[in-house]
Structure 1
């Protein structure tokens, strides 16, 4: 990893702002979209770029905001990758969010988030906290291939259980679903059953498939060659260089997904899920004297 002093930390405005404390990732997920060339990484993806002044930048940014809002993190780089255990930049940023009475929506695949559960609980009690967990496959042996350097699915389900005990709302990302690999009814049912059991608020799915961009595609295909012989050729024959790669079973799996969510009162429309994550509770909305 290497350290930089960033010029800014928050992006976006209105109901929710986003931040990435790190750039790159050490989880090694074979399908990671963040590897795509369009994101213009100027360093190897595994050489984590650490925004060492992120807490100071966040403090300044939140103090200058006229209205409270949700702060999102984890969309590009996991805030709980391995270096966070030592650096604790994510924790320091959460402390600043709490102190300034903002909310947080935090996405991860790592059980390291449990280190900060007391802090997340405090934020949720004072304003709002939403924890987002990615679950792609219920099979832990397959999980070790797809997401080799992070805790397995069973452990992530335990994270959902712990959040449920605290009353912290959770959203599950059931994506990507990889054609010919984890696109089975058995897999989807198993994940959905755990989402029901752990009381998740919503599940985000983008059509039961995978997207591949330049840069991401090459890495993914190299991983297929290593772990799934002749699978790359199967992909190329069916999809060519398409950006969207829907599962051949997408229609059936999507129907199963929607039916299960509806029957169990779980949000299944991505827009509804994002709206929930972006909404800062009105009763905590504060304005400065300059807004009057």
Structure 2
């Protein structure tokens, strides 16, 4: 898909109008005790990130009041800003990841999963990993254009590209912005292998791109299911699709011939771990052909946000959850070492691993997935290219 300059300008204008629809005052601070946090948001605070000055909300006495003397507070809207990406493909050398490159079309995620390990990345932007991560998003409208440029480089060497490893590529704003879809169209043109991770049922929209790629062995999708309890899901992941809707997405993708993995990630000890076998069975019934799991991870500010959430939503289980996590991380809330950060270690981690393996064997989810193909990769002709003589 070749995007003209006129199309880019029109797209930017549409994105600008869209951002105005969802704009909020960037100077607004949210009190930890404000009812603002109660409406479809997971974070209970908006503390400064580790690279920012500490902030605190102050009552200046000018708040509007009702007859009950309770302050009138507006609903927290989502603020979407735009940045022009200079590069898009991120490379990593992590030995415990099955990919060495990824792209992210968005910073922050409106799904608002309270446990999200990506929350601390918002601190690099001078924003809070708390409510800011859920409500102050950054989109990259030129993502597809930059991706095309990077893939066209003669120095580029093809390998599976991961999408959704940091923030969800199918979060609500993608419905209008279509940045993930634009990137998938570029990957399809180049016959480039791609692995997608998402909670968003919006992935179904792109079946018209994904199905032909799957027929060539170029794509695999992972759908994350953290619990089958819709009430718990709503509180942990307030703007993500319900568990039943995600299972329906697995079925729809499989019906289109797209291989799908059910990802029990993260598994929360003392809260969702008892559902492991049931989640795997539901995924297998929906058509998933593979499975994976990752233990809850609490890097940096995520630990504080998670413990605030536990105290609010599961106070009777809070101590058990944290004790289990610390047992697996040498007494700490989180162990960042490669090889340990995803699963933990010790008797409890071994029990979970053995349960997972037994369930996958019983359900037929233990088959090794075929590697995605890289041999089909080809740079499509560009304007100004010299034509081949033969």
- Provide the TM-score with structure 2 as the length reference: 0.64
Higher alpha-carbon deviation: 221-230 or 235-244: 235-244
- Structure 1 residues 75, 258: closer, same or farther in 2, change over 3 A? same
Counterparts of 2:359 and 2:123, CA distance in 1: 35
Partner of 1:35: 119
Aligned length: 277
Partner of 1:229: 315
Partner of 2:201: 111
- Structure 1 residues 179, 247: closer, same or farther in 2, change over 3 A? farther
- Which consecutive segments of 4 or more residues in structure 1 shift more than 6 A? 245-248
Structure with greater helix percent: 1
Partner of 2:81: 2
- Contact 1:68 / 1:101 at 8 angstroms: preserved in 2? no
1:127 shift after superposition:
4.5
1:39 shift after superposition:
6.8
- Contact 1:179 / 1:248 at 8 angstroms: preserved in 2? no
Which of residues 54, 60, 70 is equivalent to 2:160?
70
Partner of 1:189: 277
Partner of 1:45: 133
Matches within 5 A, 1:111-190: 111-184=201-274, 187-190=275-278
Classify the secondary structure of the residue corresponding to 1:131.
strand
Structure 1: 5+ residue stretches without partners: none
- Contact 2:111 / 2:239 at 8 angstroms: preserved in 1? yes
- Contact 1:127 / 1:284 at 8 angstroms: preserved in 2? no
Classify the secondary structure of the residue corresponding to 2:241.
coil
Partner of 1:202: 290
Counterparts of 1:247 and 1:91, CA distance in 2: 42
Classify the secondary structure of the residue corresponding to 1:93.
helix
Counterparts of 2:374 and 2:180, CA distance in 1: 26
1:109 shift after superposition:
0.2
- Contact 1:133 / 1:173 at 8 angstroms: preserved in 2? yes
- Structure 1 residues 36, 60: closer, same or farther in 2, change over 3 A? same
1:126 shift after superposition:
3.8
- Contact 1:225 / 1:232 at 8 angstroms: preserved in 2? yes
- Structure 1 residues 45, 227: closer, same or farther in 2, change over 3 A? same
Greater relative CO (CA pairs within 8 A, separation 6+): 1
Partner of 2:333: 242
Partner of 1:218: 304
Counterparts of 1:210 and 1:12, CA distance in 2: 24
1:149 shift after superposition:
0.8
- Provide the TM-score with structure 1 as the length reference: 0.84
CA RMSD, aligned part only?
2.8
- Contact 1:37 / 1:215 at 8 angstroms: preserved in 2? no
Counterparts of 1:233 and 1:174, CA distance in 2: 22
Structure 2: 5+ residue stretches without partners: 1-79, 94-98, 336-343, 381-390
| Greater C-alpha Rg | 2
1:167 shift after superposition:
1.4
Counterparts of 1:205 and 1:145, CA distance in 2: 21
**Deviation per residue, 1:6-37 (Å, 9 max, x gap):** 11001228976310111111111121111136
- Structure 1 residues 89, 128: closer, same or farther in 2, change over 3 A? same
Which of residues 258, 261, 264 is equivalent to 2:357?
258
- Contact 2:164 / 2:198 at 8 angstroms: preserved in 1? yes
Partner of 1:21: 105
